[in-house]
Structure 1
Amino acid sequence: MKAITYTSIFLLMSFLPQASIAQKDVTHQQLIWYGYFLTLPIDENWSVGAEVQERHFIHPFAQQQLSLRTHVHRKLGQSGWEVSAGFATFFQSPNNPRSELDLVEPELRAHIEMAYKQKFEKLTIDHRYRAEARYFHKLNLEKTGLANGYYFGGFRFRYRILASYPIWKINENQVLKVIAGDELMVQAGKKISYTFDQNRIIAGLGLSISPFLNVEATYQKWINQRQNGAYFNRDIVRIVVNHRLSTIKTQK
């Protein structure tokens, strides 16, 4: 009951930023994200993950971001909890797809995470709590090129709730699921102007092709507050391939 109560409170909070931007300076954009997520189990409790994500604007066509991430996971017995730590590199292009400035800004990001999985008969709910430390590449005085070194931009705290429910069992290994969820992000630090960072509402389908491979096609409504107080309101199509290899023990 407590988990359901906390979830209800979170969902209410996550919708408030979207309602509040009606009278604000808002930029609407459409994007497509592609992702490949690889998991290599080491044993029953340990695993290593790697991610590649490409994000680009639809009209006009222009790259928005490329991200590379690696992380190590540890299951905490049979409790349903899991902890992980990882590191990512982001290559950020201008957020205006019509920008004439051809500048890609690198960002380094370390994170720690806890995740909890709940099962209610066919329904599965995943909770993910993540804390990130963000380091941005320095720019020259004109902000048209890169300077030497990085600076600490601040911390970001994320909570994501994601539910999945099977709607069609094709065979023993192939199942079609409906996916829905939300992720709320807040930030802190001396260089941070606003506590609220962004909110992402997620809905779509996931298809298990085999025990080791599944594909997700989802829609995201992404509300992002900028440092000047304005907002990005983004409609995103997200296509992800999740690939899980056999354990190292099995391979031997």
Structure 2
Amino acid sequence: MKNRIEKAVLVFLLLSQIAIFGQKNIIHQKLFWIGYYPAFVFNENWSLKSEIQERVFLEPFQQHQLLFRSDLERKLLENWIGFVGFTFFLQSPNNPCTKNMLMVPELRPNIGIQNSQKYAFFSVSHRYKLEARFFALIKENELTDNYVFSNLRMRYQLGIDFPLYKKEQSDKIILKVKDEVLFNIGNKIVKNTFDQNRIYLGLHTIVNSNVAVELGYLNWFQQQANGIDFYNRDILRLSFFHKIDFKNSTNE
């Protein structure tokens, strides 16, 4: 099993690098993401995980994206969970130097499943996600109240966690390695069926049973709609996790 996991990681990394260096029209950008992730635990089977994230360009400093996301999770079988959720997304232009500051709203319902397995020295997760994308209709460079369906998008994320420091039977510092690949589906998708690949490396520090902080680096490689141009983004990511456990408070 360990050999299979290692081979899968190597394949993902290799394909990502081939895609990056095999293309010529690549736009390099630097960004900073900061996010707050509250998780509401209702009982052993149900929880609501939310997210508020601000994303900004660094050169020059300019807002890129703002998102609000919530997923209702349900434990299905041992090591399996299912979830359904919704994201409200505000998208600024991908060019931080543009004079057009129009932020386009996007509505993004999603559904998915996730499997997690623990081994002696690490744990592995597989997340499968399908989302639909609806963008606000723009007329004469002005937003309207109407939304139009764009496409479906499939996402697969492989994650591996390596505990680095333990105390009192609890993981305090964890090295997180993730790779996620995204594919577009729909009649409007002609040249960018491959949407993007995200490689992430981060340190996750558990402050206490309810609070954690994570600092990491994300490489975001994305194909544009014309199929020729690509974005290669270097992202510093800071995340704050907050668990609100109604299950334990009810028992007290």
Distance 2:111 2:17 in 1: 27
Distance 1:27 1:180 in 2: 25
User: Does residue 42 of structure 2 align to residue 39 of structure 1?
Assistant: no
Q: What SS class does the counterpart of residue 137 from structure 1 fall into?
A: strand
Residues matched between the structures, number: 248
- Pairs within 5 Å for 1:101-116: 101-116=100-115
Offset at 1:138?
0.9
Assess if the C-alpha contact under 8 Å between 2:69 and 2:87 holds in 1: yes
Offset at 1:4?
5.7
Counterpart amino acid of residue 203 in structure 1: L
- TM-score in terms of structure 2 length: 0.92
Assess if the C-alpha contact under 8 Å between 2:30 and 2:235 holds in 1: yes
Match in the other structure for 2:156: 159
Offset at 1:170?
5.1
- TM-score in terms of structure 1 length: 0.92
What are the superposed Cα offsets for residues 102-128 of structure 1, whole Å, 9 maximum, x if unpaired? 100000000001011110113011111
Distance 1:134 1:6 in 2: 31
Assess if the C-alpha contact under 8 Å between 1:167 and 1:178 holds in 2: yes
Match in the other structure for 1:233: 232
Counterpart amino acid of residue 101 in structure 2: D
User: Does residue 39 of structure 2 align to residue 30 of structure 1?
Assistant: no
Q: 1:176 and 1:109, CA in 2 relative to 1: closer, same or farther beyond 3 A?
A: same
Offset at 1:173?
4.9
What are the superposed Cα offsets for residues 5-61 of structure 1, whole Å, 9 maximum, x if unpaired? 377347515532432343321100000001111111111101112110000001100
What are the superposed Cα offsets for residues 160-179 of structure 1, whole Å, 9 maximum, x if unpaired? 11111111235555611111
Q: What SS class does the counterpart of residue 249 from structure 2 fall into?
A: helix
Match in the other structure for 2:79: 80
- Pairs within 5 Å for 1:12-161: 12-13=11-12, 15-22=14-21, 23-77=23-77, 79-141=78-140, 144-161=141-158
Offset at 1:76?
1.7
What are the superposed Cα offsets for residues 147-194 of structure 1, whole Å, 9 maximum, x if unpaired? 341111100000111111111235555611111110000110011122
The share of aligned pairs that are identical, in percent, is 37
Counterpart amino acid of residue 197 in structure 1: D
Aligned-residue CA RMSD (Å): 1.9
Match in the other structure for 2:7: 8
Q: What SS class does the counterpart of residue 12 from structure 1 fall into?
A: helix
Counterpart amino acid of residue 222 in structure 1: W
Assess if the C-alpha contact under 8 Å between 1:174 and 1:210 holds in 2: no
Offset at 1:228?
1.5
Assess if the C-alpha contact under 8 Å between 2:163 and 2:171 holds in 1: no
Counterpart amino acid of residue 71 in structure 2: H
User: Does residue 179 of structure 2 align to residue 182 of structure 1?
Assistant: yes
Distance 2:5 2:168 in 1: 36
Match in the other structure for 1:199: 197
Moved more, 147-156 or 100-109: 147-156
Q: What SS class does the counterpart of residue 76 from structure 1 fall into?
A: strand
Which residue of 203, 215, 218 maps to 2:216? 218
What are the superposed Cα offsets for residues 208-234 of structure 1, whole Å, 9 maximum, x if unpaired? 111111111110111000102210000
Distance 1:160 1:7 in 2: 15
Distance 1:7 1:145 in 2: 49
Q: What SS class does the counterpart of residue 5 from structure 1 fall into?
A: helix
Q: 1:7 and 1:107, CA in 2 relative to 1: closer, same or farther beyond 3 A?
A: farther
Q: 1:4 and 1:127, CA in 2 relative to 1: closer, same or farther beyond 3 A?
A: farther
